[in-house]
A and B are shown apart, each in its own frame.
Chain A
Amino acid sequence: GAVVSQHPSWVICKSGTSVKIECRSLDFQATTMFWYRQFPKQSLMLMATSNEGSKATYEQGVEKDKFLINHASLTLSTLTVTSAHPEDSSFYICSARGGTNTEAFFGQGTRLTVV
């Protein structure tokens, strides 16, 4: 299957700093990328959906100014957590879908810890 690479796999940052997470589709063009947040022992919560070259569509309750999503190319999307706080600590997962693909391919996830 197609490969989606997410980087970094884990990051620790100080409260008030910003963190960028990258999601790359390695062998296909990702026309749509999804960003999820997952709390321990819970399901994936969709944060936003982005199409290449256009602004991301955020789910209700997700702060656009805090979670900046950029999908500038068909192989790369980034999620920047701005002014991170301890409550932003979580597992963030991206997924990507290309063209007429019926399935989405998932990155390995990023464990963010804000101290």
Chain B
Amino acid sequence: AQSVTQLGSHVSVSEGALVLLRCNYSSSVPPYLFWYVQYPNQGLQLLLKYTTGATLVKGINGFEAEFKKSETSFHLTKPSAHMSDAAEYFCAVSDRWQFYFGTGTSLTVIP
């Protein structure tokens, strides 16, 4: 079975500070892992994904995530937060059939 745990439903950072959003997963098959961002009243936009190959993946808007199999983690980071990064972030795992989403982390950026 597949599942995703996002630690911290709310994260606040100062503008320019490091962003770290945590995601741990469980999967009975080699996982495909995703981070999505959602702005109010909008659908989900893919930030980045890991399928195979390099474990450090870079996405849009300066975000990156590292797949750590030993820790079953796929944490999302960004070196310097921008006001426009304020949004809801969802981690997801896919078993190639369905997508399983975490409960989401709301990121607030403080000016």
Q: Which A residues are closer than 8 A to B by beta carbons?
A: 1, 4, 6, 9-10, 34, 41-44, 46, 49, 91, 93, 95, 102-109, 111
Contact residues of B: prevailing secondary structure? strand
Within the complex, which residue of B90, B96, B98 is in contact with A46, where a contact is CB–CB below 8 Å? B98
With A10-B41, A41-B106, A95-B44 already in contact, 13 other A-B pairs whose C-beta atoms are closer than 8 Å: A6-B43, A42-B103, A43-B101, A43-B102, A46-B98, A46-B99, A49-B98, A102-B51, A102-B96, A104-B94, A106-B36, A107-B43, A109-B43
Contact residues of A: prevailing secondary structure? strand
Is the pair B46, A103 in contact by a Cβ cutoff of 8 Å?
A: yes
Within the complex, which residue of A6, A91, A104 is in contact with B41, where a contact is CB–CB below 8 Å? A91
Q: Which B residues are closer than 8 A to A by beta carbons?
A: 32, 34, 36, 41-46, 49, 51, 90, 94, 96-99, 101-104, 106
